[in-house]
């Protein structure tokens, strides 16, 4: 018999189903019609199969299962004749050739689910309303208690077909044709999705099998599950199947430990790869921002020269004078962004060293005020400080001055014309420096994440100022490097107070 079988089927028999004696083998076309069969049909069926007839005329359980959505597909402990139970393996040979291997499991089939009993009655298909369209294989999987998830993105999926009975016990509120956050329902799948996305990206036929994990039902019982990542009709699916109840506990523990170890190893590799990519990114940003400074400064210098040349400027009409002024403003903004980006990348890479010296705090505040003076005058914002007697602080002068410069720039940005900004110092218990403005303030959800780092969508200031989204992230990095602390107190319409605790 074996000489008539393809090599890959023989290999599957030897590798997966030893010993292969006593197995009934069918070959069918894509329409489930029998092309040939090998083995003793009397052991499995009540009548002799007829070439050309559908295989499900003799084995009702495989109705609508050809072509299989995954190959090989294994249906466990299916009743085929009176007390005869078989594992059925469905294997794709080509687009129009499929093999079914029936392996006797009668001695192991001490119990079988009620739904599998009904499969053997053809009327089941009328009762269940299974459609025979191009989704027929997926629909047929409902019979075997599969949960069919059509993937929308890395977190969301749509439940296709019936909600299996075990899922109703696990999550009673879930329903079909409804998007769910499947990684929240099955946290185990969050790790599996790394592999699944790689599998789908290859656009190969076949399946990717997950490990085994357990879930606790509402009644307190545990259910063991496994998942498959498959592609069907160009769509991505996760198929989740319950395992047989009777699994050796020691074997199960070893399997879960093995899977957990593999998951940790994959996460460690992913983390290492991510760290390398982030390091490359930061180095790239540092190099680019450094090299951009020269051409930006050159353009800014030309704009300054044209603006200061009254004779040449008088020859231009109003439109072109405005254009030159606009070029200067945008180049100044780009230079500021470039400097912040350069500082940010160096802070991220750790390319700096804190060199603390005892420094006059009054001198630092005076320098920060002088730096911001031009912008303060443009919006007619008053500035004050309560520091009358000098206080010595142990800081890195250059970096700490950058902190105050960034906080002052932020305060000016969000303070309307004729507003007020102050830098107040409190030395009661420990030194606290507060940058206070009378600006627009911010809601709690914004203030809680204000120091999180780079912000893609920087808020426009009260005078139309555009920001970089980097300033406060740089502040937090420098404050942390000093071993200090910073927090913000703010309410919408009541201004903001940034407090540094030394």
Residue 476 sits in a domain whose CATH number is: 3.30.565.10
Q: Provide the pLDDT for residue 128.
A: 44
- Same domain flag for 161 and 106: no
Enumerate the H helices of 379-447 as residue ranges: 397-413, 444-447
- Same domain flag for 345 and 362: no
Per the CB < 8 A criterion, the answer to whether 182 and 164 are in contact is no
Higher per-residue confidence, 188 vs 269: 188
- Same domain flag for 494 and 388: yes
- Mean pLDDT of all residues in the chain? 77
6-20, 246-260, 284-298, 480-494: range with highest mean pLDDT: 480-494
- The verdict on residue 264 lying in a domain is no
370 has pLDDT over 80: yes
Question: Most distant CA pair in the chain: distance in Å?
Answer: 108
Q: Provide the pLDDT for residue 34.
A: 93
- The verdict on residue 125 lying in a domain is no
| Cα 166–Cα 104–Cα 122 angle in degrees, nearest 5 | 60
Q: Provide the pLDDT for residue 139.
A: 61
Q: What is the pTM of this model?
A: 0.39
How far, in Å, CA of 104 to CA of 319, rounded? 89
Cα–Cα nearest to 474, from 364, 373, 346, 366: 346
Q: Provide the pLDDT for residue 50.
A: 92
List C-alpha distances in Å: 435 to 134, 275, 318, 500.
66, 35, 40, 9
- Same domain flag for 105 and 161: no
Tell me the average pLDDT across 94-116: 67
Domain count within the chain: 4
Beta strands in 344-454 (DSSP E): 357-360, 382-385, 392-395, 420-426, 432-437
- The verdict on residue 258 lying in a domain is no
- The verdict on residue 259 lying in a domain is no
- The verdict on residue 167 lying in a domain is yes
User: In the structure encoding, which two tokens stand for residue 169, read together?
Assistant: 């016990």
Out of 332, 349, 366, pick the residue that ends a domain: 349
116 has pLDDT over 50: no
- Same domain flag for 276 and 383: no
- Same domain flag for 341 and 373: no
Q: Provide the pLDDT for residue 420.
A: 93
Per the CB < 8 A criterion, the answer to whether 295 and 323 are in contact is no
Tell me the average pLDDT across 125-146: 54
Enumerate the H helices of 88-221 as residue ranges: 114-119, 123-128, 136-141, 165-170, 182-185, 189-201
| Cα 293–Cα 298–Cα 300 angle in degrees, nearest 5 | 95
- Same domain flag for 308 and 435: no
* pLDDT digits 0-9 by tens, 229-281: 888 878 889 998 887 544 455 555 555 555 666 666 667 777 777 777 666 66
Out of 52, 83, 110, pick the residue that ends a domain: 110
- Under the banding of pLDDT at 50, 70 and 90, the label for residue 105 is confident
Q: Provide the pLDDT for residue 104.
A: 79
Per the CB < 8 A criterion, the answer to whether 231 and 134 are in contact is no
- The verdict on residue 261 lying in a domain is no
Out of 292, 319, 349, pick the residue that ends a domain: 349
- Same domain flag for 28 and 78: yes
5 has pLDDT over 90: no
* pLDDT digits 0-9 by tens, 415-433: 999 999 999 999 888 899 9
Higher per-residue confidence, 106 vs 417: 417
Tokens 């959505």 locate to 69
Q: Report the Cα 249 to chain-centroid distance in Å.
A: 33
Per the structure, the complete domain to which residue 97 belongs is given by 1-110
- The verdict on residue 130 lying in a domain is no
DSSP letter for 31, please: T
* pLDDT digits 0-9 by tens, 430-450: 899 999 999 888 888 888 878
Lowest mean pLDDT among 13-22, 34-43, 176-185, 223-232: 13-22
- Same domain flag for 370 and 485: yes
CATH number of the domain that residue 14 is part of: 3.30.450.20
Q: Provide the pLDDT for residue 14.
A: 66
- Same domain flag for 237 and 178: yes
Q: Provide the pLDDT for residue 497.
A: 92
- Same domain flag for 390 and 490: yes
Q: Classify each residue of 439-473 as buried b or exposed e, where b means 16 or more C-beta atoms within 10 Å of its C-beta.
A: bbbbeeeebeebbeeebeebeebeeebebbbbbbb
| Cα 68–Cα 74–Cα 77 angle in degrees, nearest 5 | 130
- Same domain flag for 321 and 380: no
């Amino acid at each position: 018999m074996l000489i008539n079988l393809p090599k890959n089927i023989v290999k599957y028999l030897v590798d997966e189903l030893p010993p292969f004696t006593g197995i009934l083998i069918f070959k069918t076309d894509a329409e489930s019609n029998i092309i040939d069969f090998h083995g003793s049909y009397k052991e499995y069926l009540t009548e002799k199969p007829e070439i050309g007839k559908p295989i499900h005329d003799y084995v009702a359980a495989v109705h609508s299962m050809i072509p299989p959505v995954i190959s090989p597909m294994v249906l466990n402990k299916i009743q085929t004749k009176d007390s005869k139970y078989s594992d059925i393996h469905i294997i794709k040979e080509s687009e129009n050739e499929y093999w079914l291997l029936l392996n006797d499991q009668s001695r192991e089939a001490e119990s079988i689910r009620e739904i599998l009993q009904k499969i053997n009655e053809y009327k089941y298909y009328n009762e269940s309303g299974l459609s025979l369209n191009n989704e027929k294989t997926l629909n047929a999987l409902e019979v075997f208690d599969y949960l069919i998830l059509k993937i929308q993105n890395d977190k969301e999926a749509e439940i296709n077909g019936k909600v299996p009975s075990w899922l109703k016990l696990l999550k009673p509120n879930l329903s079909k044709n409804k998007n769910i956050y499947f990684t929240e329902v099955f946290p185990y799948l969050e790790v599996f999705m790394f592999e699944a996305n790689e599998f789908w990206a290859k656009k190969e036929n076949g399946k990717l099998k997950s490990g085994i994990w357990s879930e606790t039902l509402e009644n307190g019982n545990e259910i063991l599950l496994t998942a498959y990542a498959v592609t069907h009709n160009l769509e991505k699916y996760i198929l989740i199947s319950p395992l047989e109840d009777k699994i050796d506990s020691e074997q199960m523990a070893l399997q879960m430990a093995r899977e957990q170890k593999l998951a940790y190893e994959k996460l460690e590799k992913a983390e290492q790869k991510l760290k390398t990519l982030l390091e490359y990114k930061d180095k790239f940003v540092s190099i680019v921002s450094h090299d951009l400074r020269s051409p930006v400064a050159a353009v800014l210098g030309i704009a300054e020269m044209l603006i200061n040349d009254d004779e040449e400027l008088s020859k231009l009409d109003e439109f072109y004078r405005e254009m030159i002024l606009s070029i200067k403003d945008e180049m100044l903004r780009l230079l500021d962004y470039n400097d912040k980006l350069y500082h940010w990348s160096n802070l991220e890479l750790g390319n700096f060293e804190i060199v603390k010296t005892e420094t006059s705090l009054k001198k630092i505040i005076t320098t920060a005020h002088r730096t911001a003076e031009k912008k303060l005058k443009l919006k007619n914002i008053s500035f004050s400080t309560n520091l009358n007697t000098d206080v010595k602080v142990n800081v890195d002068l250059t970096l700490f001055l950058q902190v105050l410069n960034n906080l002052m720039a932020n305060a000016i940005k969000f303070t309307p014309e004729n507003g007020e900004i102050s830098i107040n110092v409190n030395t009661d218990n420990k030194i606290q420096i507060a940058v206070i403005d009378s600006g627009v303030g911010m809601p709690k959800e914004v203030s809680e994440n204000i120091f999180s780092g780079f912000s893609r969508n920087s808020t426009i200031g009260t005078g139309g100022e555009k920001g970089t989204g980097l300033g406060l992230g740089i502040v937090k990095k420098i404050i942390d490097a000093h071993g200090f602390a910073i927090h913000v107190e703010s309410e919408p319409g009541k201004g903001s107070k940034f407090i540094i605790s030394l």
